[in-house]
Amino acid sequence: MTETTIYVGLNDSVTREQIFGTEKYVSVMKKVCCAYHVPFSLRLEQGGYFHENGEYTQENTLVISIIDVPDDTIDEIAKDLCVFFHQESVMITQDRIKVYFINESIE
């Protein structure tokens, strides 16, 4: 199986500031995943990076993990998030993973 992780910064690509509250962005991301019918996990991280001109930026980033979804669907989700969150780009990473479940009960 493949785990895909999409990183979406919350700073606007023009103003370089976060325009809306984080919960609004979380709500949009959940709606996008629901619309594509994909299971997901979501977390909030903080990070920083350098722009091409050397300017350093720190921002909140939403990170979504999706397991075993076709690449074309991943690309469509990433494109939607890029547009909805007004980003220059979003970052996608992929890893091969082993998935298994353990079930136990106390009787």
3-state secondary structure 3-24: EEEEEEECECCCCCCECCCHHH
First-last CA distance in the chain: 33
Is position 37 within any domain? yes
Is position 104 within any domain? no
Count of domains for the chain: 1
Segments forming the whole domain that contains residue 70? 2-96
DSSP 55: -
Q: Looking at this protein, which amino acid is placed at residue 78?
A: A
The pLDDT score that the predictor gives to residue 87 is: 92
Per-residue pLDDT of the chain (107 residues; tens, 9 = 90+): 999 999 999 999 899 899 999 999 999 999 999 999 999 999 999 988 887 788 888 999 999 999 999 999 999 999 999 999 999 899 999 999 999 999 998 87
Q: CA-CA distance, 48 to 25, in Å (whole number)?
A: 18
The pLDDT score that the predictor gives to residue 4 is: 98
Give every CB contact of residue 30 below 8 A, 6+ residues apart in sequence.
42
The pLDDT score that the predictor gives to residue 85 is: 94
- Check which CATH number belongs to the domain holding 68 and give it: 3.30.70.120
Is position 63 within any domain? yes
The pLDDT score that the predictor gives to residue 51 is: 79
Is position 103 within any domain? no
Give the pair of three-digit tokens for residue 78. 């990433």
The pLDDT score that the predictor gives to residue 48 is: 87
The pLDDT score that the predictor gives to residue 54 is: 87
